[in-house]
């Protein structure tokens, strides 16, 4: 084997491993904070540190939805993130939209 090819292959292997490691850790990110929501009866629910880009079905339709995370939420009228309604930036609240599912989008 050519002596100059060996260090190049080693460098390529190390670089590929680094890219793979970074790619795997970024897929497991989560928003910091919590999503709070209230049913029409006033019962409070919360989701702590919700994962990014994962659809979360709420336990009940949310009369009030509060985004206390550091990332924007999409919220949906239907379960399984169907029937997109709108987005909710960090630190904001929405009422009377009655979503049934949410997703952290960044």
Q: How many CB atoms lie within 10 A of CB 94?
A: 19
Please tell me the pTM assigned to this model: 0.73
33-104 folds as Gamma-B Crystallin; domain 1 (2.60.20)
Kindly report, residue by residue over 11-69, the tens digit of the pLDDT.
Answer: 555 555 544 444 444 445 899 999 999 999 999 999 999 999 999 999 999 999 999 99
Tokens 């509060």 — which residue?
66
Q: How many helices (H) and strands (E) does the chain have?
A: 1, 8
Kindly report, residue by residue over 68-82, the tens digit of the pLDDT.
Answer: 999 999 999 999 999
How buried is 80 (Cβ within 10 angstroms: 0-12 exposed, 13-18 middle, 19+ buried)?
exposed
Polymer length of the chain: 106
d(CA 95, CA 103): 17
């Amino acid at each position: 084997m050519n002596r100059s090819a060996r260090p190049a292959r080693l460098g390529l292997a190390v670089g590929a491993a680094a890219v793979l490691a970074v790619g795997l850790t970024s897929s497991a990110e989560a928003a910091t904070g919590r999503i709070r929501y209230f049913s029409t009866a006033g019962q409070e629910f919360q989701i702590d540190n919700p994962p990014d880009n994962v659809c979360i079905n709420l336990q009940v339709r949310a009369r009030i939805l509060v985004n206390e995370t550091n990332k924007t939420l999409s919220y949906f009228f239907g379960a399984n993130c169907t029937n997109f309604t709108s987005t909710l930036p960090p630190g904001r609240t929405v009422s009377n939209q009655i979503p049934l599912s949410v997703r952290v989008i960044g």
